[in-house]
Chains A and B, each alone.
Chain A
Amino acid sequence: MSEKQSSAWSPSSREIQRRKSRRAISRKQAGIAAASSIFVLGTLLVILVTSPGWETVKATFFDIEYGKEVFPTVIKGLWINLQLTFIGGAAIGVIALGLALLRTTKSPALTPFRFLATAYVDIFRGAPLILIILLVGFGVPALGLRGVSSNVIFLGTVAVVLTYSAYVAEVIRSGILSIHPSQRAAARSLGLTSGQTMRFVVLPQAIRRVVPPLLNDFVSLLKDTGLVSILGVTDAVRAAQINASRTFNYTPYVVAAILFLLITIPMTRYTDRAIRQRTSAQNSEGSI
């Protein structure tokens, strides 16, 4: 209901003066930031290129010609990582949601499942991912179970899904627990069952709240798919490794690293922005 600013308004001389001062302050700050950046980055560059081994490093890590040559195989490997991330991500979302719901339910019929879900989360959240990959990748085929694929890509994905669904379940659960009990009381007093309360009232609010940390986990997931290379999956990391060991030139590793960064940096920037928007929306006091 705020009044519309009158069109006849023009800033007072005091306001004009203030704006001038503000502009002068921001010009000065921009100047300081630029000078400081040039100095720090310049120093680092000088240290790098004047170091005694720089020529060797340049030849073995930053060989542009060789980089171009291995680029197609590395990017083909990266495609595996991306597939793993999206297919695994979908499976993780579903399993994690189920685990989180099981861990927060009070239904007596689900007691054994609640217990199992807790044990599952404890185990897979507590063990290093690389061990889970090795155990699943080499252990499951050794069991010789009929009908279970021994495809390394499949087993690698399973291992990553097992671990990440435990992480993500905890994020979702913390979101569920962060919803104030009064919301639940309001829903129940309207006659909604506990299941309806979870589905229509608690979960939609909880998921919204945990989107930024989930995006964070998604970025980690993409990077961690590189670990399935230890099973022999020819992903970006493995492709780089094969090329590097063939020629003793490590440029393929740099190529792989740059390719990962090209995907993860925009994702993390986006996540940061999402978190910022969320916090500024919650704090009406404004940013300080």
Chain B
Amino acid sequence: MSNVLELVNVRKSFGSELVLKDLSLSVPEHTATVLIGASGSGKSTLLRCINLLESIDDGQIFLDGEEISDPLINVDDVRRRLGLVFQSFNLFPHKTVLENITLSPIKVHGKSKDEANSHAMHLLKRFDLADKADQYPDRLSGGQQQRVAIIRSLAVSPRLLLLDEVTSALDPVLVNEVLSAVRDLKSDGMTMVLATHEMGFATQVADEVCFLESGNIVERGTADQVLHNPQNPKTKEFLKRVHQAGRL
């Protein structure tokens, strides 16, 4: 099985603060890797580094065997192959739902407007949002906005989808509709890296769960191993706190 994404000893610091410490990770095709860990453990930074929104200080990142941490690489070209969904949706408020989705297919991938629209409508139908196509994002609920954001990333058929705490800004009722959308992608065979606080969800979709602590993966394994039978004391401590908060 070939790895879509490969991180080798990635190091990143902001000023004097070391955020990622020699972190290594392999993501095989059609698998979902779930990153868990407390806020500030480096999950978001890791995703932003993979998307080249942040540059790393040391180590290497490979996408389909090509080193994308090379400063001479065309970053726009790399990002065309990746999808990133943000915690705060980040839809474009001046564009309709349909325009949000078709912007990149038309302007970046050179699709015709008709082609992009019909693909976008197909995706919107699939996620029960077809009636929202001509609405502006501010007329939508948070859950709907986040699903549109997911569709926007999907519309360019990415090799790898990065999801950064996509349910953290949503109330419990809306969380479910977004999670079921992600589950659908998983069953389609989309390769994904997700940062999440939803442990139950992690159990359902993860092929591998990585627990991050101060910028390092201190424990990794199947969801069952890491979430229900943790070996590392730090993982145990974290899961105990999650449990106390009623989130497991």
Chain A residues at the B interface, C-beta cutoff of 8 Å: 182-183, 185-193, 196, 200-201, 204-205, 208
Contacts and interface: CB of A to CB of B under 8 A. Distances in A.
Contact of A190 (B77, B93, B94, B153): B153
A190 B53 contact: no
Contact of A188 (B53, B88, B92, B94): B53
Contacts of B77: 191
Contacts of B83: 189
Contacts of A187: 92, 103
A200 B103 contact: yes
B79 A205 contact: no
Given A186-B92, A190-B152, A196-B107, 8 more contacts: A182-B86, A187-B92, A189-B53, A191-B76, A191-B156, A192-B107, A192-B108, A204-B94
B10 to A, nearest CB: 18
Given A196-B107, A196-B108, A188 B90 contact: no
A182 B88 contact: yes
Contacts of B80: 191
Contacts, number: 56
B222 interface: no
B193 to A, nearest CB: 14
B104 interface: yes
Contacts of B79: 188-191
14 contacts: A182-B88, A183-B92, A186-B86, A189-B53, A189-B153, A190-B104, A190-B156, A191-B77, A191-B79, A191-B104, A192-B107, A200-B103, A201-B92, A204-B94
A183 B83 CA distance: 15
Contacts of B216: none
A189 B51 contact: yes
Contacts of B93: 205
B113 to A, nearest CB: 14
Interface residues of A: mostly helix, strand, loop or mixed?
helix
Contacts of A200: 103, 107
A107 to B, nearest CB: 14
A208 B93 CA distance: 11
Nearest to B99: A200
Nearest to B105: A190
Interface of B: 51, 53, 76-77, 79-80, 82-84, 86, 88, 90-94, 103-104, 107-109, 152-153, 156
Contacts of B91: 186
Contacts of B88: 182
B51 A193 contact: no
Contact of A185 (B86, B104, B107, B153): B86
A190 B86 CA distance: 12
A190 B103 CA distance: 9
A189 B84 contact: yes
A200 B104 CA distance: 10
A183 B156 CA distance: 18
Contacts of B51: 189
Nearest to B155: A190
B107 A183 contact: no
Contacts of B82: 189
A139 B115 CA distance: 59
Interface hub of A182, A196, A200, A201 (most chain B Cβ within 10 A): A200
A205 B137 CA distance: 14
Contacts of B104: 190-192
Nearest to A191: B80
B86 A192 contact: no
A204 B88 CA distance: 21
A186 B92 CA distance: 9
A196 to B, nearest CB: 6
In the A-B complex, the 9 residue pairs with the smallest Cβ-Cβ separation, listed nearest first, are A186-B90, A191-B80, A190-B104, A189-B84, A191-B108, A191-B79, A182-B90, A204-B94, A205-B94
Contacts of A188: 53, 76, 79
A136 to B, nearest CB: 38
Interface hub of A191, A196, A200 (most chain B Cβ within 10 A): A191
A192 B77 CA distance: 9
Nearest to A284: B138
A275 to B, nearest CB: 19
A143 B204 CA distance: 79
A192 B94 contact: no
B107 to A, nearest CB: 6
Given A185-B53, A200-B103, A190 B90 contact: no
Contacts of B94: 204-205, 208
